[in-house]
Amino acid sequence: MIYLDYAASTPMCDEALHIYSVMNKEMFGNASSLHDAGGQAAYTLDYSRQRMANMIGGHKEGIYFTTGGTESNMLVVQSILNGLPPHKKHWIMSALEHHSMYNLATFLEHQGYELTIVQPDREGRITREVLIPHLRDNTGLVSVQHANSETGLIQDLAALSPLLHERGIMLHSDAVQTFGNVHIDVEAMGVDALSISSHKVYGPKGVGAAYLKPGTPWRPVYPDTLHEKGFRPGTINVPGIAAFVAAAEMMTEQMEMHQERYATLRRYFITKIQERSIPLRWVVEESEKKAVLHHIVGCFFHGYEGQYVMLECNRSGVCISTGSACAAGHHDPSPAIQALGASGREALQFIRISFGRTTTIEELNVLVDILTDLTHQQERSLSR
């Protein structure tokens, strides 16, 4: 099997597997227990919190461990909105957000909150000029994904935060795709809250983290919750958290090396597609003005629905995607892809290839051969 869907999930790295095994055998106590086993787990949790804060340039007190990116998004946004003054009932999110944010928006609407979904500019960017017309006196929060999981397009959050903070508006960002792949500094970016996930950086599934800048007003979603300083309920998964931190540290230490490899693989793939005249159109055209995650390549295969292309690749032993894994059960066009100007029909032709630490040129050659065969099938069908 050739796996080219790393934006959806990654295998656990050796560093994470080792820590996870050791922790489950030797430090399995409940971090809330008062005996020595609990104390060891609590110390490990505190140490992990500090290491995670160091990786994002934040404060240890602002780290709250969760079950993943979706829970981080849902708890962070609701907790901030709960903590804002009663008249701040309006919030904004970009049209490029993860599926979990759209689900949350539906729920919050029933709680009396009003949402504005902001479309990006023609380049796919959420800019000051895009946001300003939608800011109100009762706007309390803006949520802009750091990089979209289907396109890899990175947003310039540092350019947005001063505009919002001078109006008393909080800024949250879903950084699930960027964490471990590009440098993140919450202070430099000016974000008040951040969401990250373990299984995108070669850690275990079911683990993630939320960052709430100390001093940011918030109230818990679940009243009287005891764990994570009231942020979420449930016994803390200390072994999973320790493994998450080990994987994240490995990724951040090797970040530049991996990005250079991904950029090389991306250029090679694009060149081979052009040489074979395969009818792919890139969702995000290559440009020096656009910052992108090099390991995510989103494109449209003219003449085929993305699900058909994905299934044909799978039949040949290659795993690719038609978009966010969390929305894979829905065949509706992706809101993020349509927000970038694609028609409904074109959005259904979307496929995503995403590279990982072990992806090779040889694996890409196999994929290119499959796409070439599909192109020839299409040509034969049109010539009849």
User: What amino acid positions are annotated as catalytic residues?
Assistant: 326
DSSP state of 168: T
For 228: left if phi > 0, alpha if psi spans -120 to 50, otherwise beta; the answer is left
Go through the chain and tell me how many residues it has: 384
Neighbours of 167 (CB within 10 A): 13
Q: Dihedrals φ, ψ of 190, to 5°?
A: 80, 20
Angle, helices 361-383/306-315, rounded to nearest 10 degrees: 120
Q: What does the angle CA 64 – CA 170 – CA 163 come to, to the nearest 5 degrees?
A: 140
- Supply 170's token pair: 């909080």
Per-position DSSP letters for 191-228, written without gaps between them? -SEEEEESTTTTS-TT-EEEEE-TT-----SSTT--GG
Q: Dihedrals φ, ψ of 380, to 5°?
A: -65, -40
- Supply 180's token pair: 């471990």
- What is the SS3 assignment for 116? strand
Pairwise CA distance, residues 309 & 117, whole Å? 31
Chain position carrying tokens 């999973």: 240
Angle, helices 14-26/238-253, rounded to nearest 10 degrees: 160
